[in-house]
Amino acid sequence: MTDNVRLRHYSAAEAENVLAQLVDVYLDAHADDGPLYTAERYEQQLAAHMPRPGWASVTAWTGDELVGYIYGFPLQADTHWWDGIQGPVPEGFLDEDGRRTFGVSELVVRRSWQRRGVARALHDELLRNREEERAVLLVRPDNIAAQHAYNAWGWQPVGRLRPSWGGAPLFEVRTKPIGS
């Protein structure tokens, strides 16, 4: 990663102060990914996710510019994360209690900063001291760069999932053991 990039942890309350920048980076990272990647939909996603218990983020900055971030939260017993799962999964795989699984919701880096180690640094920093048993994320099967990165970082595919929101794409579900 470039030496002039600094990482910073944010709670949900702290992230409220950089919300517009989070949306801007998201839009930049997904500029070529189609009509689902809008400011309005993403603002709604953040508004739904940030109040969740244990929400955590790591941001990457160069000077005053936000160049990337990752965020997620522990999956509670009443989670809807698994709604839309397809195919068989092992018994008990979907059971959550707020301590078992950390859901990684977004990992985005500005296009001009991609392939420079920023995503890996964000990923590693967010998951470094987590106490959950495992992490989970969703990745589009056509996102080849992300697929390769997640393979290299030890994420294993476990199935497919189509979220319930309108026009949602089909995602690959990946998990990775974490925690102490």
**Per-residue pLDDT tens digits for 110-145:** 999 999 999 999 999 999 999 999 999 999 999 999
Beta strands 101-109 and 134-139 are parallel
Q: Are 149 and 178 a contacting pair, CB within 8 Å? A: no
Query: 0.85 cut: is pTM over it?
Result: yes
Tell me how many degrees the CA angle 107-39-166 measures, rounded to the nearest 5: 85
Query: One-letter amino acid identity for 63?
Result: G
Q: Could you tell me the residue ranges of all domains in the chain?
A: 6-177
CATH number, domain 6-177: 3.40.630.30
Q: What is the pLDDT of residue 51?
A: 96
Q: What is the pLDDT of residues 3-35, one digit of tens each?
A: 799 999 999 999 999 999 999 999 999 998 888
| Separation CA 2–CA 60 (nearest Å) | 11
Which conformational region is residue 17 in: left (phi greater than 0), alpha (psi within -120 to 50 degrees), or beta?
alpha
pLDDT average, residue stretch 173-179: 92
Q: What is the pLDDT of residues 63-88, one digit of tens each?
A: 999 999 999 999 999 999 999 999 78
